[in-house]
Structure 1
Amino acid sequence: MGIAVGCWRTAPERPVVSPDKIDLWRFSLALPEVQTDQLKSLLTDDEIARAGRLLLKEKQQQFICARARIRQILSRYLHCEPSAIAFVYAEQGKPGLRGVAGVDFNLAHSGRWGVLAVGQGQVGVDIEGLDHTLDYHLLAQRYFSSTERTLLEAASLIRQLRIFYRLWTQKEAWLKMQGGGFSSAGQTTGADEFSRHFYLTRGYAAAVTFSAPVAIINKYDFS
C-alpha cells in the first residue's frame, strides 16, 4: 500500500504524533526585519549568540527565524510555551528534545524556505534549491554509490539535473535521520527503504526519510 501525501494546508493548533504518520511543516525564512526581531525573543541566549557569530545579516535572520519556528511548531505538540522547549544534541550534532520521548524532528532549509519534519520514530528531511550551473557529475563521482551513479547516467541529459537532486536530497535526508552527513566518497545509504520525495515549491527538490513504515505524510503551511 502506498503512502498518502496531502497538499499543503493550514497548520493545526494541536497536532499529535503517531506511528503511522509524518508531519511536514513549511515556512518562509524571508521575513521583514521587524518580525525577525519579534521571533528573537523566543530564543535562548546561546541561540542568539550563535546567530551573532554568522557574518551575513541575512544568515543571522534566517537562523533566528528557523530556530523560532522549530520552537513554535514543537510547542503545539508539547502544549507548552515555545521558549520553554529545551534541546539536547547527539554526538554528531542532531538535536532532540530534553525530557521528551517519542517525538523526533529534523530541520532543512535552503534559500527562502525551511521545512521541519516531525514524527514518532526517527525522521530526516532535506530540501535543495535547483542550481542549473551546478557541476553535479563531479559531486556524483565523489559522493554517490555506483548504483546511484548508474541511475543518474541512465537518465536523459534534460532530466539528469533533477534526477541528481532527487538522489541527493534522499541521501542527505537519510544521513540526517541517522545523525550524520556526507563523510566518504561513494557512501551508500538505506534511503530507498522508507523515504518519499515531496513537492515544496517551484525550483526546489525535497525528500523525507523515516525509520519505520508510515501511511500518511501531512504537509502544513506555517506562517
Structure 2
Amino acid sequence: MWQQPPKELSITAREVHVWRANLNLPIARVNELVNILSEDEEKRANRFYFEEHRKRFIVARGTLRLILAQYLAIAPEKFKFKYSDKGKPSLKGEQLQFNVSHAEDLALYGFTLERKIGVDVEYVRKVRDVENIAERFFSEREAEIIKQLAPEEKITAFLHFWTGKEAYFKATGEGISGGLDEIEIDLNSGLLRIKGDSQAALGWCLYKIIPGKDYLGTVAVEGQDLKLSFWKN
C-alpha cells in the first residue's frame, strides 16, 4: 500500500496523495531540518517543554517543507505559510492544498489540488470510559454502535469515528469546537450526515487507513470518485 514516491511528483485535480513519515529520527537529522524552518516555526518548537515533543515538531514541519518542495520545485526554506483563525496552515496563491496530523512517532500528510482535505491519525491505546465519551460527544447512533460492540472492538470503532470527525473538521477549517456530533459517520460507507443533512454528506469522502502498526487514521476529502496514492517518506 505504501510506496516510494516517483522522482518527479505531480498531482491532478482527481488525485489525493497521502504520505506517512517517521518522526523518530537521529538528532543529526533533526538539526538539519531545523535549518529549513522559519523563525516562527523555530520559536514554536522551542516552546515545547519536553525535548521529545520539540524534535517531533521539527521533523513534522521540516518533512512537510521537503514534500512541498517536491511538488512545487521551490526550496523548502522559502515557503511562507498563512494560518486560518483556527490555525490551519496553507500556502498563499498556490492551488496545492494540504493537511498534517501526527501522533507519537508518526506523521500523516494529505495533498490535493484546489480540493479541501483533512487528515487525522491516532495511536491506538486504551481509552477509559469509551462508551461514556461516545455518549457525550458522538451522535446517538454512533454511541449505540460502540455500546453494542465486543470489548476488544470498541477502541478501534471509537478511533475510526474520532479520526473521521477530526479529519472532516480539519478539512473545513472549522475545528471540533463546532461539535463532534454535528457530523455522523458510518464505519463502512463513510460520512452519513452533516448537521442532519444526508445530501450535504454526498460531497465528501472519508477514507479509513492504517498508516502503521498500532495507528489508525482517516482522510477526509471534498468530492467523489477520487484516486488515492500512498507514499512513504
CA distance in structure 2 between the partners assigned to 1:19 and 1:190 by the alignment:
27
Helix, strand or coil for the counterpart of 2:182?
coil
- CA contact under 8 A between 1:141 and 1:186: conserved in structure 2? no
Give the alignment partner of residue 17 of structure 1, picking from 11, 16, 30.
11
TM-score normalised by L of structure 1: 0.91
Q: Among the aligned pairs, what percent are the same residue?
A: 27
- Residue 135 of structure 1: how far off its partner (Å): 2.7
Q: What one-letter code is carried by the residue in structure 2 that aligns with 1:144?
A: F
- Who is 2:209 aligned against? 198
Gaps of 5+ in 2: 186-190, 192-203
| Structure with more contact order per residue of length (Cα contacts < 8 Å, sep ≥ 6) | 1
- CA contact under 8 A between 2:131 and 2:147: conserved in structure 1? no
Alignment of 1:7-156 (within 5 A): 7-100=1-94, 102-120=95-113, 121-156=115-150
Gaps of 5+ in 1: 1-6
Q: What one-letter code is carried by the residue in structure 1 that aligns with 2:148?
A: A
TM-score normalised by L of structure 2: 0.87
Mean CA deviation greater in 209-218 or 26-35: 209-218
Deviation string, structure 1 residues 57-114 (Cα, Å, up to 9, x no partner): 11111111111011000111111110111111112211110221x2110001001100
Runs of 4+ in 1 over 3 A off after TM superposition: none
CA distance in structure 2 between the partners assigned to 1:22 and 1:184 by the alignment:
26
Helix, strand or coil for the counterpart of 1:194?
strand
- Who is 1:219 aligned against? 230
CA distance in structure 2 between the partners assigned to 1:190 and 1:74 by the alignment:
32
**Equivalent residue pairs, number:** 215
Give the alignment partner of residue 165 of structure 1, picking from 143, 147, 159.
159
- Who is 2:196 aligned against? none
CA distance in structure 1 between the partners assigned to 2:90 and 2:151 by the alignment:
41
- Residue 14 of structure 1: how far off its partner (Å): 2.5
- CA contact under 8 A between 1:22 and 1:214: conserved in structure 2? no
